[in-house]
Amino acid sequence: MKNIIFHVLYNDKTEIRKKDGSLGTAQDLHIGLRISAAGDLAESGEITAKKIEIEGEGSENKSAGESPGH
């Protein structure tokens, strides 16, 4: 499957969960982060997320303890 880009919108009703299952905030989201989003898909192609689950870093790994040893 090819990569598909979606624009994901969130608001104060969106539940954000960190990789460990704990509650997160919008401050935990950043460019390059791999997420799973569930919500409503608009005709414009934007998803208004009801839930965002943080899966981990994308091409850059910034999480301590998760990168392979150098």
Q: Is 9 helix (H, G, I), strand (E, B) or coil?
A: strand
pLDDT tens by residue, 21-61: 999 999 999 988 999 999 999 998 899 999 999 999 876 44
φ, ψ of residue 51 to 5 degrees: the values are -145, 135
On the question of pLDDT at 5 being above 50, the answer is yes
Residue 1: pLDDT band (50, 70, 90) is low
Query: For 19, which DSSP code?
Result: T
Q: What pLDDT shows up at residue 59?
A: 61
pTM: 0.71
Task: Decide: helix, strand or coil at residue 66.
Answer: coil
Nearest to 53 by CA among 9, 14, 4: 14
Query: Can you give the pLDDT at residue 20?
Result: 94
Burial of 49: CB neighbours in 10 Å, binned 0-12, 13-18, 19+: buried
